[in-house]
């Protein structure tokens, strides 16, 4: 039986799945390619990711990967301040992307079109009425709420820009949801943010992230697949995340400034590894000081997770489900996290995670695991069992697939 065609847009290349949004978009794309002929249009903001073009072409019916320079895109996005548009949308505006979408629509009878993130949705809703293609949006998180939170945390000029972006984007998100046939968020809590808005007419649904518990398995034989750095085993505490992402930068800076000094006073040999791509200058400057290692991009985060005594997720601005938390839990590691970083995962404090929202509490929880007064091994084992039982990708994606099949009458 021949496959139907689907158009899938993403603001960032979905492969490799090495950061939060790409983990979700990759698993959704992989799921779709098993059932449909997928036409993929996306931007590539890291030139190194272009090496995956051939692979993505091999699993899709057609593929358009458009290079995007973050510096140039930021400058282009500023026109939104004059036009009244959300900067997040002008950032991704591209006539080349529009041409690709039009080409796919002319050549293939797509049964549905899917936008991953609010940034890509305008490409679909502005033309969907004429083409009569079923339109779905996966918002993941409310980006408007993220910018609002950044604005509240900053009193600088950029804080004003962030607050403005939050206000403008909230209206856009509602408009997009109202124009789509189906819109999704990443958790029930995130969906409620959308659904509580007065200008929302359609109900936003949700489908949750999962984690690959076969890949993220502490017993997996993965050491032979990579060049294991000899420094990996020397770290007691690890943070994993893309280090050009503002929420991660803020989390690490807060941790290093307010939590880490107290830990070093109590355990002077303790080591902290910051594992993630494209570290900002402020993060790079931490490398080699106060027992801190900044790795930059690594081929595989699993050795860093496996060798650590624990993983920290000290996020102060967090939306939806944190993949970094799910992956650390899958690796049977005790995770010390803020309540924001743990939201969206059905965890139980002291059983399968340790929650701490202030510097003193987080330091105490970390020391408690390091000195054995809290059994990190048991907490980690409980964490892995939770994700194995409830956070596989297949059942999470089934919720999305059921809505899609009902929409297209499959």
Q: Which residues, in sequence order, are CB contacts of 191 under 8 Å at separation 6+? A: 184, 185, 204, 205, 206
Q: What is the largest CA-CA distance in the chain?
A: 66
Give me the CATH topology for the region 5-210+392-408.
Answer: Rossmann fold (3.40.50)
Alpha carbons 170 and 66: distance in angstroms, whole number: 27
pTM: 0.85
Average pLDDT, the chain: 91
pLDDT of residue 393: 94
pLDDT 10s digits, 80-111:
989 999 999 999 999 999 999 999 999 999 99
Most confident segment among 51-65, 131-145, 308-322: 51-65
409 pLDDT band (50/70/90 cuts)? confident
Instruction: Quote the pLDDT of residue 1.
Output: 65
How high is the pLDDT of residue 149? 83
Indicate if the pLDDT at residue 55 is higher than 70. yes
Give residue 366's pLDDT.
96
Q: Domain-by-domain residue ranges, the chain?
A: 5-210+392-408, 223-390
Could you give the CA distance from residue 190 to residue 186 in angstroms, rounded to a whole number?
Answer: 6
Contact of 185 with 167, CB cutoff 8 Å: no
Residue 58: is its pLDDT beyond 90?
A: yes
> Is residue 227 predicted with pLDDT exceeding 80?
no
Least confident of 40-49, 122-131, 151-160, 296-305: 122-131
Q: What is the pLDDT of residue 234?
A: 61
User: With bands split at pLDDT 50, 70 and 90, how would you rate the model's confidence at 353?
Assistant: very high
CATH number of 223-390: 3.40.50.2000
What are 218-222's contacts with CB under 8 Å, separation 24+? 218/306, 218/331, 218/332, 218/384, 220/302, 222/300, 222/302, 222/303
The CA distance from 6 to 9, in Å, is 10
Prior bond of 56 cis (ω within 30°): no
Which pLDDT does position 146 carry in this prediction?
Answer: 87
Confidence band (pLDDT; 50, 70, 90) for 225?
Answer: very low
pLDDT at 381: 97
3-class DSSP assignment, residue 354: strand
Residue 31 has pLDDT above 90, yes or no: yes
Give the residue-averaged pLDDT of 398-402.
95
Residue range 375-380: mean pLDDT, rounded: 96
Is there a shared CATH topology between the 5-210+392-408 domain and the 223-390 domain?
Answer: yes
Query: Does the structure show a pLDDT above 80 at 359?
Result: yes
Condensed to tens digits (0 to 9), the pLDDT of residues 107-129 reads 999 999 999 999 999 999 876 55
The mean-pLDDT minimum among 225-229, 242-246, 292-296, 357-361 falls in 225-229
Average the pLDDT over 10-38 and give the result: 94
Q: How far apart are CA 251 and CA 315, in angstroms?
A: 5
Residue 226 has pLDDT above 50, yes or no: no
Pairwise pLDDT comparison (231 vs 69), residue with the higher score: 69
- What pLDDT score was predicted for residue 131? 65
For the stretch 298-352, pLDDT in tens is 888 999 999 899 999 999 887 778 899 999 999 999 999 999 999 888 999 999 9
The yes-or-no verdict on residue 42 having pLDDT over 80 is: yes
Q: Which residues contact 6 (CB under 8 A, 6 or more apart)?
A: 32, 36, 37, 38, 39, 110, 111, 112, 113, 114
Indicate the pLDDT class of residue 228, thresholds 50, 70 and 90: very low
What would the pLDDT profile of 238-291 be if each residue is shown by its tens digit?
999 999 888 899 999 999 999 999 999 999 999 999 999 889 999 999 999 999
Nearest 5 degrees, angle CA 324-CA 403-CA 58? 65
């Amino acid at each position: 039986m021949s496959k139907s065609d689907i158009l899938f847009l993403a603001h960032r290349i979905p492969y490799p799945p090495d950061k939060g949004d790409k983990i979700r978009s990759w698993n959704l794309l992989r799921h779709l390619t098993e059932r449909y002929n997928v036409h993929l249009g996306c931007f590539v903001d890291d030139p190194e990711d272009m090496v995956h073009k051939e692979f993505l072409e091999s699993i899709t019916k057609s593929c358009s990967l458009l290079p995007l320079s973050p510096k140039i895109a930021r400058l282009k996005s500023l026109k939104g301040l004059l036009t009244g548009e959300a900067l997040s949308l002008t950032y991704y505006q591209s006539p080349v992307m529009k041409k690709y979408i039009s080409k796919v629509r002319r050549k293939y009878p797509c049964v549905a079109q899917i936008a991953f993130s609010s940034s890509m949705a305008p490409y679909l809703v502005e033309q969907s009425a004429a083409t009569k293609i079923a339109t779905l949006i996966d918002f993941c998180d409310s980006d408007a709420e993220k910018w609002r939170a950044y604005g509240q945390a900053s009193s600088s000029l950029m804080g004003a820009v962030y607050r403005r972006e939050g206000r403008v984007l909230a209206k856009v998100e509602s408009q997009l949801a109202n124009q789509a046939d189906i819109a999704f968020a990443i958790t029930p809590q995130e969906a409620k943010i959308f659904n509580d808005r007065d200008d929302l007419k359609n109900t936003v649904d949700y489908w949750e992230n999962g984690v690959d518990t076969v890949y993220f398995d502490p017993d997996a034989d993965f050491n032979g697949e990579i060049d294991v750095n000899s420094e990996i085993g020397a770290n007691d505490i690890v943070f994993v995340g893309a280090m050009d992402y503002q929420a991660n930068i803020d989390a690490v800076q807060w941790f290093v400034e307010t939590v880490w000094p107290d830990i070093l006073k109590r355990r002077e040999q303790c080591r902290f590894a910051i594992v993630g791509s494209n570290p900002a200058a402020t993060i790079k400057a931490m490398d080699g000081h106060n027992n801190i290692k900044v790795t930059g991009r690594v081929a595989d985060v699993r050795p860093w997770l496996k060798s650590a005594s624990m993983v920290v997720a000290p996020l102060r601005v967090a939306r939806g489900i944190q993949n970094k938390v799910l992956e650390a839990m899958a690796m049977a590691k005790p995770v010390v996290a803020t309540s924001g970083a743990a939201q969206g995962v059905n965890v139980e404090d002291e059983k399968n995670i340790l929650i701490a929202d202030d510097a003193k509490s987080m330091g105490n929880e970390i020391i408690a695991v390091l000195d054995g007064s809290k059994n990190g091994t048991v907490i980690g084992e409980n964490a892995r069992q939770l994700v194995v039982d409830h956070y596989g990708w297949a059942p999470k994606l089934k919720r999305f697939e059921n809505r899609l099949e009902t929409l297209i009458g499959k």
